[in-house]
Structure 1
């Protein structure tokens, strides 16, 4: 008998069907052991020796697995195809070895990127050993996260009562949200005006142009910074003797399709288009990956959903091209397949993009087998993948200048017309923030020097806007840009910040709670290096180097711990007064904002004489009077 271990029971059921009666497939239900949440689980003085523990929930599954493996001929570890999956396989082997369940059992590792009959059977024809370098990278990450959490959190609890915890990556993500909030608070809007004019062509078509030059001088954004200046400009337009087309410029623009989804781009688009949070997106994607019953045949609908790769398998590209030719016609098929390249540092971690396992399985074909959220996410993945192989869209961008006879008054208007929709027929990516002043509309056909009749002149008041707060989509995008976290961690980072009550979501935007602001202020004041974006990103790169076999994981830990433990020791003499002074300097403007009246915002409203400041009590920070 051959035994196969996968993570989930849903996957176990599907794979058992593919492999037949000579195989018994059992589920580990995720991780089987972890570092106990107490002091001493990672011991730097013992060359980072680690103590692992099988918790009560996992023990029940581990007993069943050990029972199944005893006396088997072969054991195949078929957990997920990434670092986390490699680690689960390693843990399973170690625990089974300790329990003497592997006597005379041949242990092999198999990986597949999709839960389909062909992919699974092919993986079992090419088993391998556990990849020690991937396991080392996992061990280094787990040790780092433990050492930061279990060393830094007690410092927070002692020096900043009311804090929940600090984490290697979560604290950096929190800093991003807090810094953006400080920018919003410090922002002072500036007034500016624009002047729009309605014109009519000789053929009777109407369009609107915006004032761009007055007295022969190009207007900058803040040149018209009051209603009086805008009205004066409008009067000059009204006084002009007539208007003609000064220039018409056409430019053909080619827009290429977007690459297929990675974990982060899927999370971003599912947030923008479907309103899903990162955790929800991953839960639904997991179900699509693990398998759906399609008329008696269980099959995974998408490839593995934790990936930063954008490449597609040759057969997937061929299937997409065949579908495009059949469904949309030859014009929509580029002469050559589109090849997208991934920036994965290590060959063993270069996964495919997230794509349907069968391009011919259209969303409409599977809709009745899926709930509404699964159907919507599958449709998003299918459209994005097919569109990635379609022809470019062609747009005609038009730029028109209108001027009075003297040339002293000029107006400008742009527009664009889709000449050939190409991939846009199927898919268009959404934005986090609307682009400012983009000419998208169709403009009437105009000739050089054509006379146009002026209509209504409208001055419009505007104010500059503060930088937008992060949404889940824009936060994931920023974390990825900075190289912080990895595909498997974005959702959990965001979840932890909300679970700790450090941030809240309001109208799908993150706002830091005061508790989160205080923690960030404390860490940037006393542990700045460890919440620096570059430092965290560099650590991620070093972990990649470990998984590629180029850096020793214990050397990485030794270097980190030497400096980090020194920084921790440096806070032993830190007084509450010093902490309060640092927090006050960092957050004074937040807690005591000026209201524009000139009054001292720190004057105590109760006694009228004392000065307000931050104080620390048993249950956290509060504002008190001197």
Structure 2
């Protein structure tokens, strides 16, 4: 009789199965097995926040598999991750199994482990517990809060601010931080200041530099020398004096090592030192946690990576201390183990810090088993954990003051030297965002302070006469606050106590996916859509995007997880006020919204001109005033004299001076002329985003309409720096890359409905972030095609013609393919379980011919594009057909998302009630009709 263990991921199940052997069957839930359905009514405040849960096919399939495995089993161990989400997944699995009657006679226990090692897993099995009810309550409260904010506030956005995507409880606060930082930068006015420095030599001839700090007996403030005249006068005064050393101050300071990583600090350091995004960091850490194959054995290399804790297990500390003494010597080992405590607000469950599971697995030892990203991240985690238990560094700091004979003109020189490197021998945390920017080729701010900690001074004594060399006066300007990087935004959110560090990566990604912000040169730049949404929320729902209010809610959620308060009581208090705020916007007119946003964002959309003229004067009629306007597809700039003056300007695609350089009324910018045809190439904005176009629509000799050549911009292309050469290259897509060494078929790259891709025959693969569709080479193309081939399962050859029969993973689910014939797999048939005979029968019964969508091609899907182009001025990007469409009609492309707000806004409560009543009446009417016939 075997016991059943349920974990979250297949990789984790595979690793643990090796540890436990034949007495256990380890199965994966594949994350959450059910969730709140994304529709109104899933959380019902009027029924004391009752919730409806819904499972998709995958969840049902996994729970059914667990239920089958439980037949004859004595115990079920729920071993999902050791946090709130893991506790919730275990609860969902138990609830679904209980409803199936699969738990009769089965003992259900919860186990957790912070690392996937044989010792940790066996210890957990020996110390099981029940499900943690307060943790589950905290999960329910968080899920209900996020649902109610999203599904109640987003429709208000869609109705009152067309073109908006969504709002979220934490997402909107993070967006506000980014937008407010941008407003600070725009409002910033640089101030001039000067510094005076002199070069000196000691009596022994050793040179050094010193900066002027006192003039005429008074200490200089930053802006005391605020113009060239004052700076030159101060320089002349230094040049006129004879200087000697007045004081030499030496002191030794200790620098302690940083604590081992938490989720937040890991994301920050990986961003600064490795250039990893938060999502990339968490994905890579997940792989290291779940285990990598090392000489036939799967080994979990790091502990659980979603944690607020900085403490480490006693045995881990002891092992690290032994390693330090053996590797570096007794002088690098503190007399007692270092103890750390979390300083983060709302630190939740007492997990360990992120550390290596076995310090003996050094980065050098495991490097050959890891890919490049895994190796870099593991080395960072390993060094940080080991350094945290090493001796402090000792630094000798020296400050020398020089004065003239009057002692009224004083200069200061500072320097330091490392007396004992301590933990710095292994790990340095002194690389901030600016240092990372310098490594990435981004210029340092003009007012950046010099790093005196790395400057050494020659030996000097008091009263030593000095020989003066060159004196220089340097001009500086203050710099605006830097835009948030992923690292600095994560740090800010953690300091404010907003959200959970484990959710930061997904929040930052959602902001980019909604086109609220872009990430350029490692910095977040808010887009106009994001600024409009923020201005709306701050104007009409200020409390719910306030950092203090959001942090306070997080504190209440932590109190729920600690069993201190009832989660429904928290929900009642929140919902009462939130509902009132929503109801207050029912009579809010869109014109009121426009006036408010126009006033709030006026300085952004209409920055002051250098010549002092009014930036809002309409350039078309000269008498109208430009202002913010709203259309069905979003916001734009328009003239107050409409309809007499039809001047409009999109919020984006700016020219050199913030306005379009040509054809402003049409919202386009001319890039130049096509070298071959001489036709104008323009950059435009359509309903599906930015695109380039060659020429204009017209008619041919036979009177048939002709369609101009178009190509979409990819997400990482900057419209402001797009030049003619890249536009011509985009219009020439798809382009050949080379030929496959095995088949000899041509590999091409292009941009389709779902973004940039490469193609080999009938195999397509989307490009990844960082890949340039215009410059991608053969080596990278072969790497991507290898991933695409991994999504294909070859079943065998068809009995009729011997051609291969395959199953492929598609956007709408797995499908079978034989030549150009394709068929969707039924929902109850898993891709891994399908047989050749089943698939051949399926293709014969439900197969249809695959017709790739190519430019100029015919077909039902293609026929709709010209109509959209005519109506909106832009055609949707083309897309290769890589799979059959699902049985229900699927959205053609991203524009479908834009239609959703209208649909949601149109369904007012009264309309929904009528629809429900009509639906309920149908069965009764049918029965009555049938009775009448009888």
TM-score, normalised on structure 1? Answer: 0.98
Q: What does residue 92 of structure 1 align with?
A: 93
Q: Secondary structure at the match of 2:60?
A: helix
1:622 maps to 2:640: no
Q: Deviations over 1:567-586 (max 9, x none)?
A: 00000000112101211121
Q: Deviations over 1:464-491 (max 9, x none)?
A: 0000100000000000000001122111
Q: CA deviation at 1:282?
A: 0.4
Residues in 1 aligned to 2:82 and 2:530: alpha-carbon distance in whole angstroms: 35
Q: What does residue 169 of structure 1 align with?
A: 170
Residues in 2 aligned to 1:555 and 1:345: alpha-carbon distance in whole angstroms: 23
Q: What does residue 461 of structure 1 align with?
A: 475
Q: What does residue 317 of structure 1 align with?
A: 317
Query: Which residues in structure 2 correspond to 1:374-523 (within 5 Å)?
Result: 374-429=374-429, 430-433=431-434, 436-440=449-453, 441-523=455-537
Is residue 345–residue 544 contact of structure 1 (8 Å, CA) maintained in 2? Answer: no
Q: Secondary structure at the match of 1:389?
A: coil
1:579 maps to 2:596: no
Is residue 345–residue 496 contact of structure 2 (8 Å, CA) maintained in 1? Answer: no
Query: Which residues in structure 2 correspond to 1:78-227 (within 5 Å)?
Result: 78-227=79-228
Residues in 1 aligned to 2:344 and 2:559: alpha-carbon distance in whole angstroms: 11
Q: What does residue 604 of structure 1 align with?
A: 618
Residues in 1 aligned to 2:231 and 2:571: alpha-carbon distance in whole angstroms: 63
Q: CA deviation at 1:432?
A: 2.4
Query: Which residues in structure 2 correspond to 1:70-81 (within 5 Å)?
Result: 70-81=71-82
Q: Secondary structure at the match of 1:70?
A: coil
Q: Secondary structure at the match of 1:454?
A: strand
Q: Deviations over 1:257-300 (max 9, x none)?
A: 10100000000000000000111000000000001122222221
Residues in 2 aligned to 1:514 and 1:474: alpha-carbon distance in whole angstroms: 22
Q: What does residue 293 of structure 1 align with?
A: 293
Residues in 2 aligned to 1:600 and 1:528: alpha-carbon distance in whole angstroms: 31
Residues in 2 aligned to 1:148 and 1:345: alpha-carbon distance in whole angstroms: 23
Q: Secondary structure at the match of 1:213?
A: strand
Is residue 257–residue 390 contact of structure 2 (8 Å, CA) maintained in 1? Answer: yes
Structure number with the higher helix fraction is 1
Q: What does residue 539 of structure 1 align with?
A: 553
Q: Deviations over 1:349-406 (max 9, x none)?
A: 1001000001121110100010011011010001000100011111111111111111
Q: Secondary structure at the match of 2:155?
A: helix
Structure 2 gaps of 5+ residues are: 436-447, 641-934
Q: Deviations over 1:512-563 (max 9, x none)?
A: 0000000000000000000000100000010000000001011111111000
Residues in 2 aligned to 1:108 and 1:183: alpha-carbon distance in whole angstroms: 53
Residues in 2 aligned to 1:127 and 1:35: alpha-carbon distance in whole angstroms: 29
Residues in 2 aligned to 1:70 and 1:603: alpha-carbon distance in whole angstroms: 77
Is residue 594–residue 600 contact of structure 1 (8 Å, CA) maintained in 2? Answer: yes
Is residue 309–residue 343 contact of structure 1 (8 Å, CA) maintained in 2? Answer: no
Residues in 1 aligned to 2:590 and 2:17: alpha-carbon distance in whole angstroms: 61
Residues in 2 aligned to 1:220 and 1:185: alpha-carbon distance in whole angstroms: 26
Is residue 243–residue 404 contact of structure 1 (8 Å, CA) maintained in 2? Answer: yes
Residues in 2 aligned to 1:490 and 1:520: alpha-carbon distance in whole angstroms: 19
Q: CA deviation at 1:55?
A: 1.2
Q: Secondary structure at the match of 1:20?
A: helix
Is residue 248–residue 399 contact of structure 1 (8 Å, CA) maintained in 2? Answer: yes
Q: Secondary structure at the match of 1:394?
A: strand
Residues in 2 aligned to 1:408 and 1:164: alpha-carbon distance in whole angstroms: 63
Q: What does residue 30 of structure 1 align with?
A: 31
Q: CA deviation at 1:501?
A: 0.6
Residues in 2 aligned to 1:537 and 1:355: alpha-carbon distance in whole angstroms: 28
Residues in 1 aligned to 2:201 and 2:219: alpha-carbon distance in whole angstroms: 24
Is residue 603–residue 610 contact of structure 1 (8 Å, CA) maintained in 2? Answer: yes
Structure 1 gaps of 5+ residues are: none
Is residue 291–residue 299 contact of structure 1 (8 Å, CA) maintained in 2? Answer: yes
Residues in 1 aligned to 2:272 and 2:341: alpha-carbon distance in whole angstroms: 25
**Relative contact order, higher structure (CA 8 A, sep 6+):** 1
Q: Select between 491-500 and 577-586 the one with higher mean Cα deviation.
A: 577-586
Q: Secondary structure at the match of 2:25?
A: strand
Residues in 1 aligned to 2:609 and 2:202: alpha-carbon distance in whole angstroms: 51
Is residue 8–residue 81 contact of structure 2 (8 Å, CA) maintained in 1? Answer: yes
4+ runs deviating over 4 angstroms: 343-348
Q: CA deviation at 1:343?
A: 5.6
Q: Deviations over 1:419-443 (max 9, x none)?
A: 1111111111121246724412111
Residues in 2 aligned to 1:363 and 1:139: alpha-carbon distance in whole angstroms: 40
Residues in 2 aligned to 1:612 and 1:143: alpha-carbon distance in whole angstroms: 43
Q: Secondary structure at the match of 1:349?
A: coil
Query: Which residues in structure 2 correspond to 1:544-555 (within 5 Å)?
Result: 544-555=558-569
Q: Deviations over 1:154-193 (max 9, x none)?
A: 0000000000000000000000000000000000100111
Q: What does residue 663 of structure 2 align with?
A: none
Residues in 2 aligned to 1:344 and 1:204: alpha-carbon distance in whole angstroms: 51
Q: Secondary structure at the match of 1:462?
A: strand
Is residue 345–residue 495 contact of structure 2 (8 Å, CA) maintained in 1? Answer: no
Q: Select between 48-57 and 259-268 the one with higher mean Cα deviation.
A: 48-57
Change (3 A) 1:250 1:47: same
Q: What does residue 914 of structure 2 align with?
A: none
Is residue 346–residue 547 contact of structure 1 (8 Å, CA) maintained in 2? Answer: no
Q: CA deviation at 1:619?
A: 0.8
Q: CA deviation at 1:347?
A: 11
Is residue 344–residue 350 contact of structure 1 (8 Å, CA) maintained in 2? Answer: no
Residues in 1 aligned to 2:235 and 2:59: alpha-carbon distance in whole angstroms: 75
**Computing the radius of gyration over CA atoms, which structure comes out larger, 1 or 2?**
2
Q: Deviations over 1:177-221 (max 9, x none)?
A: 000000000001001111111111111111111111122221111
Count of matched residue positions in the alignment of Structure 1 and Structure 2: 625
Q: Secondary structure at the match of 1:572?
A: coil
Is residue 610–residue 625 contact of structure 1 (8 Å, CA) maintained in 2? Answer: yes
Q: Select between 244-253 and 425-434 the one with higher mean Cα deviation.
A: 425-434
Is residue 256–residue 393 contact of structure 1 (8 Å, CA) maintained in 2? Answer: yes
